[in-house]
Amino acid sequence: MVFYKGMPSANPEGRGKFKYPMLENPWNTRYSRMKAQAKFRMQEFNLTPQEYMKLWDDSGVKEHCGSKPHQYCMVRKDPIEAWSYNNCIIVPRRMHLKKQVYEACHNYPETNWQDKHGVKLTTEDVYKEWEKDHE
């Protein structure tokens, strides 16, 4: 059967089923795109959907994920290693763009990301900061 513009699709729920049903809609798409982009760049990808969501949930900036300079993105600490839970951190996109420009245009030596650059905060870290401010 041929479908023309304006005709209803065969699947009333949309274009198809999600590949990773354990993730909500926007996160399912983001994870799939990230995995496809890693495959295109011939990078090893060992991050499961659950680990992907855990990284974003633990960061505390899940609702600010995006590609604009004021949002946040996921990067690898060591660009040679695979995309994995222990090798990924969430950083401000502005910091990521700044690092790319300095290394590409200003002949700044390439450096790896470190844990201190990430925004991953645990409840204990937030509590310790609060105690320091209120002593």
User: In 20-58, which positions are buried (b, 16+ CB within 10 angstroms) versus exposed (e)?
Assistant: beebeeebbebbeebbeebeeeeeeeebebeebbebbeb
Q: Is the pLDDT of residue 121 over 80?
A: no
pTM beyond 0.75, yes or no:
no
Q: Is the pLDDT of residue 122 over 60?
A: no
Backbone angles phi, psi at 15, to 5 degrees: -80, -20
Q: Is the pLDDT of residue 74 over 70?
A: yes
Q: Is the pLDDT of residue 10 over 60?
A: no
Backbone angle region of 48, left / alpha / beta, with phi > 0 → left and psi within -120 to 50 → alpha: beta
pLDDT in tens, 23-68: 888 898 899 999 999 999 999 999 999 999 999 998 889 899 999 9
- 128's tokens: 């310790």
Is 17 or 48 the better-scoring residue by pLDDT?
A: 48
pLDDT-derived band at 3, boundaries 50, 70, 90: low
Residues 6+ apart with CB under 8 A from 103: 109, 110, 111
- Alpha helices (runs of H) in 1-135, residue ranges in sequence order: 25-40, 49-59, 93-105, 123-133
User: Mean pLDDT, the chain, as a whole number?
Assistant: 82
Q: How far apart are CA 81 and CA 67, in angstroms?
A: 23
